[in-house]
Amino acid sequence: MNLRDDSSPAKLESKSTRNRIILGLIIILVVLGGLIIFYFMNKPSPPPAQILNLAEAVNFKVYYPSKLPGGYSYTDGSANIQSGFLYYKLHSGTKVISVTEQPIPASTVNLQNLPKYSSLSVPAGPAAIGLSVGNPSVVIVTGSTLVNMNSSKGVAKDTLVFLAKNIKSVQTQNSD
């Protein structure tokens, strides 16, 4: 004979309330976890120290993406200045994006004259996307800097568009 009867209305109501509280806590934890993951996935990535140091040495604003596409990172030691141009690379495995920056040339840069390029809307300034040596390439004309992004085989056009839309001026101690 079972002396314990868990089916009384008061005990059923108590179990139901407890189950709702547990379910509510689980939902809150899942939402908080999702928000934390979203924050870290969308957190701006600061420019590498090497880029910041070289930005101090040139007479034009230097640009670096505030966010990198998934899987991409700065190629350590790739940044350098040569003939007044700043160079650096981003990579994901064997996929490489080479970025070249220089002061705006004295002659006007007409992006519409680039063969097989089309206009691209980015916050940094007028831009165009097309192909260079058969791979996606982007050219951006900011107020002071001409930025070229050239890619290796296998880099998707969308990856360059993402970078172009996220490229921002690097803040240096010489910045106003």
Query: Which position has the token pair 């999702």?
Result: 34
3-state SS class at 34: helix
* 151, 95 Cβ separation under 8 angstroms: yes
* Distance, CA of 1 to CA of 24 (rounded, Å): 37
What angle is formed at CA 163 by the lines to CA 51 and CA 156, rounded to 5 degrees?
A: 125
Cβ–Cβ < 8 Å for 67, 74: no
Q: Which pLDDT score, from 0 to 100, does residue 49 have?
A: 86
What is the model's pLDDT at position 66? 92
Distance (Å, rounded) from C-alpha 46 to C-alpha 23? 39
d(CA 24, CA 21) in angstroms, rounded, equals: 5
Q: What is the pTM of this model?
A: 0.73
**Could you give the 3-state DSSP secondary structure of residue 49?**
helix
pLDDT beneath 50, residues of the chain: 1, 176
Which pLDDT tens digit goes with each residue over 139-166? 999 989 999 999 999 999 999 999 999 9
